[in-house]
Structure 1
């Protein structure tokens, strides 16, 4: 019942991957296997995996992802997993030693398919904030405020994962939030351990949260898919983030003026003025 597989999707971060693997090795409940899915065919990554496989008491396997993208990597890892439970850990994040044991035991006790831990969110080099997912969310309430499920702070029953087809590669931003909503829609129950057992780390390299045009487009896609179920506050926060990124990147004066007008409309004139004055 306690058999758990761990999947780490990775992309050109062998130095951080080594630390993530170490946090898996330190688990009080050891996994039956660790599957590292690489979408960059990186020799340094393969070397880290081979080194870990030689010294750890569980199998560490290297898997190529030819399709690219973190969602494809998670899905390929889940397809290869043999455990009843699957834990996902991004290559730049960490687990505290009790993570797997606490979440798997809670899942079996509550008889639910998804268990979400609290996490420490490193917002920048100096700021760390503890976050925890709300309990008793439903399909109608899951998008009324920001969620706290990431790609690194949950364990899921393998059957529940494939009930919804895993992560959707079309969702490039907030794919974890989209996954959570689809699980609720499918009737998968969940439980929360509020203790921060995972670390969502900040680092200066490229991340999904980097304010790129790719992120802005991903937010737009997410709004089109789920916007009707969001609260006004969540919609406004996401819309203004998307518009702000696009305004920052454009060099076209007319487009910049148009985006500024859209930001004023989205924020409201008073709130927008306060943001400008506080810069």
Structure 2
């Protein structure tokens, strides 16, 4: 049994924390929402009323927060993780944030005597529930080895990808590929529909060829049913593509298609689709074609 502080019990964090409870660990969770804290308690965890209360005495601290400023506030801020955790504590940030922020967190954590990893995830809410996430981990190899037994509770694919910030860089690449593929699926479905092709059989045969992908398999059904309940919201993918564009510019890398997809995601958000699943890029394509009924 490991005593784990879990900060951030949202769509992804809560099921992840529950999986750690089910694996036999002592999990103390904090979220600003009292209701979310209560759900963890109902699952056998312990609800904390503040970050310091959750973190004190923990062997491992896991954070799962929306964006870089949230991680900076919770980890680096006054009465944050670094102020409250003991020396030697393993800090695993599983948020999706800017690589530069992850490197800053790792440096500050090391100065405070903590061991830090950036370990963002892919797989969406269902992957969090099922414990089948893909987890890309940056940081020192020894820290990764220490965290691996816990990460394997949360993910089916757990890979050390390099030094501090590398996990976030790989996650940015993941989000670039996913957004681009969703956009192309949306365009393909609109193209097929405009020519009276039966969409379900078309998707089935496309899935069996080189065009097949996890995105086509997981997202096309909902797109055909026009069901956009969020597994991963447009708002969050918009944030992630901002990370891609900014970090690519810093590295001197040109991402022309990525920049276009970032603009299309921003347009979907501006059209009021931010709370929908990122597969709602389909609605943006239809509006561009004058074919929207929404």
Q: Settle same-fold status: TM greater than 0.5.
A: no
TM-score tier by shorter-chain length is 0.3 to 0.5
Structure richer in helix, relative to its length: 2
Structure richer in strand, relative to its length: 1
* Bigger relative contact order (CA 8 A; separation at least 6): 1
TM-score by length of 1: 0.38
